[in-house]
A and B are shown apart, each in its own frame.
Chain A
Amino acid sequence: MELQIRGVSKTYPNGVQALRNVMLTIPAGMYGLLGPNGAGKSTLMRTLATLQEPDTGTIHLGDIDVVRQKEAVRQTLGYLPQEFGVYPKVSAEYLLHHFAILKGIATRKARCEVVEALLRQTNLWEVRKQKLGGYSGGMRQRFGVAVALLGNPRLLIVDEPTAGLDPAERVRFLNLLSEVGENSVVILSTHIVEDVSELCTRMAIIDRGEILLAAEPLAAIEAMRGKIWRRVIEKSALPEVERAHAVISTKLLAGRTVVHVYSDTAPGPGFEPAEPDLEDGYFTTMAGRIGRREAVEVAP
C-alpha cells in the first residue's frame, strides 16, 4: 500500500498558489511532512483527505485514484484536521457511535466494542458521558483522533495534531500514533520538528507549495554531519555574522544568542562543530543549502 502523488498543483481563487507540482511517494509507515505556516501542508492534507480538488496531477492510494474515487478512499480514510469543532451538546460516546455508523460499522455489538476500545485508547473513557462542549482543547483533539481511528484506516492523515497539547498529552498522542503505523500510511503534517524526528521514518519538507526535500530523517542528518557549526555570540554581533556566514538558525540560550552555521569547512574561530539534528536539517533546507526547488532524494 503506497500513496503516489504525482504532479499535484493547486491555486486558490484569490491567486495564492498553494501547491506546485508536488511529487511524493509515501509507503506504509509514519511519514512526516514538515514545513512552515502557509507552506501548503494543510492544502495537501485536505487534498489527500478528498476534501479539496487539485488543479492538476494524480494521486493514487494503491490502485485507488484518490481524486476520482473519493468514496472508495473515504472507506479506509482517517482524517484529523488542523481545526475542527464538535457538537457541544452531545456526549463523546454518543457522537463516536454516530461516526462509527457513518464509517460503516453498522452492527451494534461490533460498534460498542470499537467505541469502547477507542475511548480507552485515547483516554476519554472516564469522561465519555460528558458533553463535548465542556471538553478542553486536548480532550477535543483526542476525540478527533478517536474519530480518525475508527474502522482501522489504511490512510491516516493527521494535520498539526500536537499544536496545543501539553507535553504529557503530546507524548501520549505520539505513542498512540506509533502503534497505528504498521500497515497503514500515516502522514503527519506539522511544523514541530521533534514530532517528525521522534516518530517518522520518512519525511518531506515543503515550503511555498514546493517539496524541498524528501528523505529519511536519519539519512538527512547523516548527510549534514560535519557541516553544522555552532557559536555563541552577542545579539549585537548578529548582523555581522549573518553577513559573513551562512547562518541557518538562531536561538536564545540564557539570554545569549546561539547561531548555527552551515559550512563545508570550518568557518572560523569561535565556531565549534555541532551535532546535527533534524532541526538543523530543516533550517538548512529552508535556507536553501540543500534540496532547493526539486525534491532531492538522498540515497540511504
Chain B
Amino acid sequence: MKLWEIFRFELAYQMRRPWAWFAFAVLVVFAFQSTRVAIILATLPQDFILNSPFIIAAVTVFSCQIWLLLAPAVAGEAAARDVQTGMYPLVYASPVSKAQYLGGRFLAAFVLHALILLGVQVGSLLAAFAPGVNPEIIGPFRPAAYLAAYGQIALPNALIAATFQFAAALLAGRPMAAYVGSFALFFLSYPVTVFVYLSRMARPEIALLTDPIGIFAIMNEMMTKWTIVEKNVRMFALEGPMITNRLLWMGISLLTLASVYLRFRFAHRTANDLLSRVLRRFSRRARTQDTAVGAAAPLAVPDARQSFGFATQLRQVLAITRSSFGMVAKSPAGIFLLLAFPMMLVVVMLVELQQWGVPLLPRTVELVTRHLTAPLTSPMNYWVMVPVLIIFFAGELVWQERDARLNENVDAAPVPEWVIVAGKYMALALMLAALTAMLTVAGILVQLIMGFHDFQIGLYIRLLFGFQLPEYLLFAMLAVAIQVVVNQKYLGQLVALIAYLLLAFSSFLGVHHNLLVYSGGPSWSFTEMRGFGGSVDGWLWFKLYWAAWALLLAVAARLLWVRGREPGLGTRVQVARLRFNRATAGIAALAAVLILSLGGFIFYNTNVLNEYITDDEMVRRRADYERTYGKYEGIPQPERTATRLRVDIHPERGMATMRGSYRMVNRHAVPIAAVHVEPVFYVETRVSFDRPSRRVVADDRLGHHIYALAQPLQPGDSLTLSFEVEFEPNGFSNTGLRKNGAGQAIIRNGTYFRDSALPYIGYSPGRELISAEDRRKYGLPRQVTLPPPDDIDLSVATSAPATFDAVVSTSAGQVAVAPGELRRSWTEGGAATSITPATFPSAACSSSSQPGTRCTANSGRGWTCRSTFTRGTRRSSSGCSAAYGRRWTTTRRSSGRIPGSSCRWWSSPATSSGWAWMEAA
C-alpha cells in the first residue's frame, strides 16, 4: 500500500513537470525523422519498406541512444529529489521501509522511462502512416513489429538505464548525477563497444557484451547477417549474442539494484564528496565548538578598501573562473573528461595506428588529424562525448549557486552580471583548454610508448589549440547561452542537446549553407606534404563570423541572467531592458557589424564567386541530367587514341591552365554526326574541333554539350578536339576548397588533377542517381546494382590502346608527375617541366607498371588474364575473366565475345579499385 502510494505520488509529480513530456516529444520527432529521412536506408538501393520490422527495430535502437542523453532527469529526480530539496528528514523519519521507499521510487522511474520510450513507436507509426510519404514504400501494418521492438529493445533498456541513473543520483544525493550515470552507459555502448569490436581487441562475441544498451549487438546482427529481403520482411526477435547481451546487462542491473538497496540507509546525510572522503585521513581535526564562553574583547575588523572599477571586475572574473573550474574539474564527469577520455584515446591510438594491417609511424600529423581532432558535428564516434559533456558542464556551472542555495548571497553582491557570465564561461573554456592539453599529452605518450621522438610540439599546439579548441569554445558559448535562457535545469540540457543534434544533422533537415549552421564552415585539413592546402582561409572566415554570433549570444546571456528570485521570462525581459546600457549596446552593435560584414564577405565568396548548390539541387540536377541526356547513353562516339596535354601550374598564384587535344577515331560501323562533350565543372572550358562544327547544345548547368559536325565522321576517320581549361582562384565555397573535379583547388604544394579535370566524351552514366528513393522521387526507372558476371562493358571492352603525352610545368622547386615515362625535363624561367608519353588507355592516373601479365583464352567467354604485382610489401594476384569490369558505377551492357582481344589488368592506387577491361590487340 505504501509502495503504491510512493509510486503513484512520484509518477503524478513527474508527469506534471514538463521535462518528461518534452523528452517524449523529442523522441516522437526523432523517430519520425529517422524513419522518414531514413539515414540507414542509403544501404538499401532496392525496394525497402518504411515500416519493416528491421527499420522499426533500428529506429528504436538509435532512439534509445538519444533517449539516454535526454531523459536521465526522470530517474534522477525520483532518486534524489528528497535529498536535493532537503525534505528527506521528514520522509526518512516516517515508518516506511527501504523496500517500499526505494521500490516505489524506482518503479516510478522505470514506468516513466517506459512511457517516454513509447514516443519512439508513436513516431515510427506516424512516419509510416501520416501524410507525406510515398505509399509504395509502406508495407502492411504489423503491430507485432512495434511490440517486438518496444518489448525487446526499449523495455530492457529502460530497466538498465533507470537502474544506473537511479543509483548514481541516489549515491550523490543530486538528481543531476543521473546524467553522469547515463553518460557512462552511453560511452560504454557507443564508442567503447564499437571500438572494441572493430579493433578486434577481444573476440566479437565478447565485444558485443560490453554494450549495455544492446545497440551494437542488435545492429550488428541485423545489418551484417540479414539479407535485403529479410530486412524488409523478417520479424525482429532477440537471438544469439543479442540475448546474451540483454540477459547479462539485465542481470548487472538487478545486482546493482540489490547493492543499492543494501547500501541505502534512512540516515542523515553529511556532505561528503569523493575527494574529501579520500583526503579525510590527512585532514586536520575540525573544531566546531566555540572557545571560551563569554568575555571576548571587542573585535576590530580592519577597514579594507573596496573598489568597483574595471580592474576589480577583471579580478572577480578570474576568481569566479578559478572556483567554477575547480568545481567542474573535480566532479566525476570532469575527471572522466580530463583523465579517462585521453587515456582511452591512448589505447585507441595504440591499437588503431595501422592501415590495412601495416603499422604506421606515430607521426604527430597522423595522430592529430586522425585521432585527436574531430569535427564538432560528427556524432558518429566517441568524440560526441565532448559536446555532450560541454552541455552538461554548462548546466552545472549556470546552476552552481542555485544548487548550493548560495544564489541569493551572490546575487546581492556588487558584482555585475557580465562578470559572472564571463567567469563561468571562462571556467568552461579553461576546462576545454585543459582537455586539449591532455590530448596533447596523450599524443606524446603514444609517441613515447612507440619509441618515436619527433614530437613536433609546435604542431600539436597549432593544430589542437588553434583549430580544435575554437570549435569547442564556440559550442560552449552556445551551451551556456541556452542554459541561461531556458531557465530550467533539465529543459536546458534537453534544449541544448536538441540544438546539438540540429547542428549535426542540419543537412538532413535541408539546411546546408554554413552561414546558417552555428559554428559551421568548411573543415580544415593538414598533411605534411600539402600543409593546410589553403583550407584555412574558408575555415577562418567562417569561424570569425560565428565568433561574432557567439559574442551576441554572450550579450544575450548577460542580459537574461537570472539574478534573485524572478525566474519568469516576462520579468527577465523587463530586467534585460533595464540592464541594456551603453556598453551593452556598443558590444551588441559591434557584434552585429561584424556579423553583417563577415557574413557578407563569406556570402560573396560562397555564393557569388562560387556556385552554391544544395544537396537537393544536386540531386535534382542529376535527375535532370539522366532524364535529358540519358537517351545518349551508349551511342557511337569517337574514341580517344591520343591525348596531348600542356599543363601550366602556378601554385603560388593558385592558377593553372590546361591546354590539350584529343585525337579521336570513329571505331564504329556508322558515321558519327555529333560529338558529345562534357566539359569540366566550375571552370572555363573552351572546346574546338579541327573541322567545321556547330554547337547545338550547351547546357552548362547539367554539364553536357553537343557539337554537330558539318560532315559526319565516317567510320575509321579521325578528328582532333582541342580544349583549354583555366583554373583560377575564386575564394572559398561553402564546403571549402573543392577537392575533386575541376575547380580543384590549385594549392601551394600537392595539386592533383584527375581525369575529371579534362573534358569527357559521351554520356557519363556515373552521374546518375543511385539511391532508389531519389530515383523514385524523380520518376526514374530502377537501376540494377549488380550486373551479372558476364556483362561486358563494350565501351571499355572495345577501346584501343591510346597514347598520352603531357608537358607539365610548375614553379621551381616542385616536381611535376604524370602517368607514363619521363622523356625530358628542363627549367625555363623558373618553371620545371617534363614530358611523359604513355601507352595507356586514356585515363590520367598516377603510374605504375604492370609486369607479369598473362592472358589465356577462356572458352566461350573471352579472355582470362592474370597479373601479379607488388604494392609495398604485399603481393597480390588478380585476374579478370569474361570481361566483367568492376566499375564503381552501374552499367547496363549486353555481353558478347570480342575476337582478337587481349586483356590488361590495371590498378590505380588513387582510386584503389581494380579496373579490368578488354582491348583489341
Contacts and interface: CB of A to CB of B under 8 A. Distances in A.
B1 interface: yes
B13 interface: yes
Interface string A177-188: 000000000000
Interface string B267-310: 11010000000001001011111100111000000000000000
A37 B95 contact: no
Given A88-B85, A102-B5, A15 B13 contact: no
A99 B94 contact: yes
Nearest to A46: B268
A127 interface: no
Contacts of B294: 247-250, 287
Interface string A79-99: 101011111111000000011
Contacts of B16: 89
Interface in A41-94: 46, 49-53, 70-71, 74-75, 77, 79, 81, 83-90
A106 B1 contact: yes
A144 B90 CA distance: 8
A100 B852 CA distance: 92
In this complex, the member of B91, B93, B95, B290 whose beta carbon has the largest number of chain A beta carbons within 10 angstroms is B93
Nearest to A243: B295
A79 B5 contact: no
Contacts of B93: 49-51, 74, 77, 79
Contact of B13 (A50, A71, A87, A103): A87
B89 A51 contact: yes
B2 interface: yes
Interface in B79-97: 81, 85-87, 89-97
Contact of A85 (B2, B85, B95, B280): B85
A242 B90 contact: no
Contact of A81 (B90, B267, B286): B90
A31 B519 CA distance: 67
Contacts of B464: none
Interface in B469-519: none
Contacts of B85: 85-88
A146 to B, nearest CB: 11
A287 B266 CA distance: 38
Contacts of A16: 285-289
A50 B266 contact: yes
Contacts, number: 105
Given A14-B280, A51-B267, A81-B90, A242 B9 contact: no
In this complex, the member of B91, B280, B293 whose beta carbon has the largest number of chain A beta carbons within 10 angstroms is B293
Given A38-B289, A286-B293, A87 B94 contact: no
Contacts of B96: 74, 102
A287 B293 contact: yes
A37 B289 CA distance: 8
Nearest to A88: B85
A248 B294 CA distance: 8
Interface in B1-34: 1-2, 5-6, 9, 13, 16-17
A147 interface: yes
Contact of B286 (A14, A74, A75, A99): A14
A84 B89 contact: yes
B95 A86 contact: no
A37 to B, nearest CB: 7
B277 to A, nearest CB: 8
B90 A99 contact: yes
Contact of A14 (B2, B90, B283): B283
A83 B270 CA distance: 13
Main secondary structure of the interface of A (DSSP, over half): loop
A137 interface: no
A6 interface: no
Contacts of B95: 71, 74-75, 77, 102-104
B295 A247 contact: yes
A252 B792 CA distance: 112
Interface string A231-246: 0000000110010000
A51 B9 CA distance: 23
A87 B81 contact: yes
A112 interface: no
Contact of B94 (A74, A84, A88, A250): A74
A85 B83 CA distance: 9
Interface in B395-449: none
Contacts of A99: 90, 94
Contacts of A86: 85, 87
A224 to B, nearest CB: 17
Given A84-B89, A104-B95, A52 B268 contact: yes
Contacts of B293: 36, 286-287
Given A14-B280, A16-B286, A51-B89, A102 B17 contact: no
A13 B280 contact: yes
A14 B285 contact: yes
Contacts of B290: 36-38
Contacts of B13: 87, 89-90
A51 B288 contact: no
Contacts of A88: 85
Contacts of B89: 46, 49, 51, 79, 81, 84
A249 B294 CA distance: 7
A208 interface: yes
B90 A84 contact: yes
A87 B80 CA distance: 12
Contacts of B288: 16, 38
A81 B267 CA distance: 13
A49 B285 CA distance: 27
Interface in B92-143: 92-97
A106 to B, nearest CB: 6
Interface string A136-150: 000000001001000
A28 interface: no
A85 B82 CA distance: 8
Contacts of A38: 288-290
Interface of B: 1-2, 5-6, 9, 13, 16-17, 81, 85-87, 89-97, 266-268, 270, 280, 283, 285-290, 293-295
Given A51-B266, A74-B94, A77-B93, 4 more contacts: A16-B285, A85-B85, A102-B5, A239-B295
Closest CB pairs A-B (n = 10): A85-B86, A15-B285, A74-B95, A79-B93, A81-B89, A85-B85, A75-B95, A102-B94, A101-B5, A51-B268
